[in-house]
Amino acid sequence: MLLIQKPPQLPAGALLARLHAINSEHGYLPEDEIRRTASDLAVPLSQIYSIATFYTSFSLEPRGRHHICVCQGTACYIRGGGQILEKLEGTLGVCAGHTTKDQQFTLETVYCVGSCSMAPVVRVDEDTYGRLKPDRVARILKKYQPGEESDT
Ligand code: FES
């Protein structure tokens, strides 16, 4: 005789799929959506937050129009990735992990984007910039300012 009944198991990936859908719709995971997901799927909030903070594709705050990833992997770091990050933080006025007040840029660090031969590397949306020097940062950011954006 079974004295303790096991709770029903979620189908594999159901929680991740739901979080991806929310993140795609809003650009981040709003708290009310996280709470609704926890209730709907009978999952502890702590489990959702541990997933949301583990995967870099999820964000707990609204992201900017453009997503900047500054590589701090070994190859990039020893070739000046730290100075590139400092320059970006100073120019944008935000620390890594945050979004500018005008919602134009979200600045994040990553650890290797697979372009080590081009170190140091920064990605802005789908564009990759390699062999960067801090004095190129302002010119790159200008391309993504309203009225300056192009397909090149
Ligand atoms: S360490 Fe930066 S691309 Fe590999």
Q: Is 116 in the pocket of ligand 1 (CB under 6 A)?
A: yes
Q: How far is the CA of 111 from the centre of ligand 1 (A)?
A: 7
Helix extents (H) in 42-106: 45-54, 74-76, 82-92
CATH for 66-142, options being 3.40.30.10, 3.30.1360.120, 3.90.78.10, 1.20.120.140? 3.40.30.10
Residue with tokens 């999952």: 43
**Confidence (pTM):** 0.73
Pocket test for ligand 1, best of 116, 117, 122, 132 (most atoms within 8 A of CB): 116
Task: Report the pLDDT value the prediction gives residue 63, as an integer from 0 to 100.
Answer: 87
Distance CA 80, CA 75 (A): 9
pLDDT at 7 over 80: no
Task: Report the pLDDT value the prediction gives residue 10, as an integer from 0 to 100.
Answer: 65
Q: Is 52 in the pocket of ligand 1 (CB under 6 A)?
A: no
* Structural domain boundaries in the chain: 14-54, 66-142
Helix (H) or strand (E) holding 152: none
Tokens of 87: 């320059």
Task: Report the pLDDT value the prediction gives residue 145, as an integer from 0 to 100.
Answer: 87
Q: How far is the CA of 14 from the centre of ligand 1 (A)?
A: 32
Could you read off the pLDDT of 90-145 as tens digits, one per residue? 999 999 989 999 999 999 999 999 999 999 999 999 999 999 999 999 999 999 98
**Res. 39 pLDDT band, cuts 50 70 90:** very high
Sheet holding 122-124, edge to edge: 98-99, 105-110, 66-71, 122-124, 127-129
